[in-house]
Amino acid sequence: MSSSFRVIARSTGSADYIALLGNIDASAEMQLQKLPGMVDNELVHFDFNQAGRINSMGIALLLRCFKQIREEKKAKIVLRELNPTNTLLFKMTGVFMLASHEK
């Protein structure tokens, strides 16, 4: 798995599907800033299946991104395919207060 961060987004009639690939850290800033603008629906699925390490800077960027999606797009965010480390990380840093976890 490549460690550089990438985003793959697609939209159906009722939901947006966004896959985050690679490590999420300071280098992901530009792409995560643009993400809220790509949301068209009131439901957004984030797929972390191919996401790697997420450090504290990555957490800050995700929090900012999710907050913007909720406030500006009034959309519900669902996170899926999180590994156990990232699940705990999201739990302890409050990410799950902005997005629900599909197990």
Partner 1 sequence: MKAAADTHLMLALFNNGTDADAFRPLLNGLPGLLSIENPPDKERFAEKMVSLRLNPALVILSSRLYPESRPELVGELKSIFPGAEILLVTLAIDPLPPLEQLAVDRIRHLLVTPSDDELEGIFSLQEAILRLLVRTPWKLQDCVRPGSRVHELPLISSSQKEALIASLEEAISGDSPEMELLRQRAALLADEMVENALYGAPQGDDGRKLYFKGEDRAIDADEKISFRFAFDGETLAMEIVDGWGTLAPEMVVDFLARNQAGMEAEVDETGGRGLFIIWRFMDHLHVNIRPGMQTVLGGHLKAVSTLDCESPRGFSISTDYQSA
Tell me which residues touch partner 1 (CB under 8 A). 3, 25-27, 29, 53-57, 59-60, 63-64, 67, 83-85, 88-89, 91-95, 97-98
CA distance 37 to 58: 19
Give the nearer residue to partner 1 in terms of CB position, either 45 or 52. 52
- Tell me if 35 sits within 8 A of 67, measured CB to CB: no
Q: Where are the beta strands (DSSP E) in 38-92?
A: 43-47, 51-54, 76-80
Q: Kindly state the smallest distance separating residue 12's Cβ from partner 1, in Å.
A: 28
Give the nearer residue to partner 1 in terms of CB position, either 9 or 60. 60
CB atoms within 10 A of CB 88: 11
Phi, psi angles (nearest 5°) of residue 9:
-125, 140
Q: Kindly state the smallest distance separating residue 38's Cβ from partner 1, in Å.
A: 19
CA distance 5 to 22: 4
